[in-house]
Chains A and B, each alone.
Chain A
């Protein structure tokens, strides 16, 4: 990649699926073409920020080099345990698992 190349920037908001399970929230984002090293996920002030920078989608050349920027933010409710967040990237999909705090898990009350 040379500096002379004119880059076309696009910021894309990746579509998201969120599924709530008994113990967690599963967040899935379509970020095709990134390697693990291009994706950043961080939690700051209860906001989950997912971003990725992807260069040259077509992977063949110089003159039409395209830069894609993905970013999406999620504000987290206080039922999420931010110390046990898990993320994986597979088939161009980033899956972030946000576990619920123990005190927010459903409890069954035994009737005596």
Chain B
């Protein structure tokens, strides 16, 4: 059961909130869901987390684990306008972000792996032996 992560506000929800609040006509397109921005999945032996980080290079992302809280932080640089350039529209948010996720199981910290591709950070956290599902034989 992965219930706890829904209690965390999503960066992308906030972006969505910002768009819809500044453009009332977009209200009918609201799709704020807990799956937006962060997806967490229990695949039996491991927990898989995917986080949307568009426009952010992997050098600008930091992943840390403290107790059972996984924290992803980093920053997205605002494009600098040159002379003769001007903003027509700016909906993408820039700046620092930090996101913490409570892990529902204990994990093997030495075996955590992460990859980043096409703006998605994927983290695989192998479960500790005691957290893995076990089948119980009925006698």
A34 to B39, alpha carbons, bound, how many Å? 15
- Do A13 and B26 touch (CB < 8 A)? yes
- Do B56 and A17 touch (CB < 8 A)? no
- Do B33 and A10 touch (CB < 8 A)? yes
A61 to B29, alpha carbons, bound, how many Å? 28
**Interface assignment of B8: CB less than 8 Å from any CB of chain A:** no
Annotate B31-74 by CB proximity to A: 1 below 8 A, 0 otherwise.
10101100111010000111011111100000000000000000
Measured between C-beta atoms, what is the minimum distance from B90 to chain A in Å? 5
A residues near B50, Cβ cutoff 8 Å? 33, 57-59
**Known A-B contacts A13-B29, A61-B41; A30 and B48 likewise in contact (beta carbons under 8 Å):** no
- Do A58 and B39 touch (CB < 8 A)? yes
Nearest A residue to B89 via CB reads: A18
A31 to B57, alpha carbons, bound, how many Å? 15
- Do A60 and B35 touch (CB < 8 A)? no
A8 to B19, alpha carbons, bound, how many Å? 23
A64 to B34, alpha carbons, bound, how many Å? 14
Contact of A21 among B41, B54, B85 (CB under 8 A): B85
Most B CB atoms within 10 A — which of A11, A22, A64, A91? A91
Annotate A19-53 by CB proximity to B: 1 below 8 A, 0 otherwise.
11110010010111111000000000000000000
**Interface assignment of B92: CB less than 8 Å from any CB of chain A:** yes
Measured between C-beta atoms, what is the minimum distance from A86 to chain B in Å? 17
**Interface assignment of A12: CB less than 8 Å from any CB of chain B:** yes
A89 to B119, alpha carbons, bound, how many Å? 10
- Do A17 and B79 touch (CB < 8 A)? yes
Contact of A28 among B26, B52, B84, B92 (CB under 8 A): B92
**Interface assignment of A93: CB less than 8 Å from any CB of chain B:** yes
Nearest A residue to B84 via CB reads: A22
Binding site for A on B (CB under 8 A): 15, 19, 26, 29, 31, 33, 35-36, 39-41, 43, 48-50, 52-57, 79, 81-82, 84-93, 118-120, 122
5 nearest A-B residue pairs (beta carbon): A92-B119, A32-B119, A92-B54, A15-B91, A18-B88
